Amino acid sequence: MSDPTQHLGLLLIDLQDSFLKAIPERDSLLRRCSFALQAAELLGVAVAATEQLPAKLGSTTTALTSIWGPHTPVFEKSTFSALEADGLSRWIEANQIDHLLLAGIETPICVYQTALAALSQEIGITLLSDCIGERRSEDRPPVLRQLLAMEANVLPSETIFYSLLGNAEHPKFREFTTLVKANT
């Protein structure tokens, strides 16, 4: 049986304090992104992050950098689509990723344009619905409707990671359920 995490990647988009301060639900967003990051690392999903103009806007929030692995690549970008960040396409190729889990901000800008670019490159997309944020909540529904019409998936992070486990016999099941309970 093949490993469901083999060609899967988690991409954390622009989770920088300068952007997070404008997100109304930032505390919840960071808790869920932290959960997704920890679950991805537990299950062996490749993880990368992007930062929008970090020299001007700062780095990824320490709430996440303090828990990710020492080999998590961070790609600088000035474009709205994360896929245009220098080196990210090589990371996708090197890890043989054919499906990306997207988390980050902002849903109607960088998350949306990253999803469009990935879909145009025939990379599957799942937006982790509890791990994306925006300044204006009214922007989320039309963006998600459009992406769903384009064959993107939108699901909560817990749903995705339980699906990767498959059943309670998975060797990481106990560790995962402890992680779930710690992040409820």
pLDDT attached to residue 15: 97
Residue of higher predicted confidence among 70 and 18: 18
The percent of residues in the chain predicted with pLDDT above 70, rounded, is 97
pTM passes above 0.85: yes
In a domain, 3, yes or no: no
Phi, psi of 127 (to 5 degrees): -85, 125
In a domain, 2, yes or no: no
- Give the domain range for residue 63: 8-182
CATH no. for residue 158?
3.40.50.850
In a domain, 15, yes or no: yes
pLDDT for 14 beyond 70: yes
pLDDT for 1 beyond 60: no
In a domain, 63, yes or no: yes
Domain count, the chain: 1
In a domain, 90, yes or no: yes
Model confidence at 71, pLDDT cuts 50, 70, 90, reads: confident
Model confidence at 114, pLDDT cuts 50, 70, 90, reads: very high
Mean pLDDT of 137-156: 96
In a domain, 173, yes or no: yes
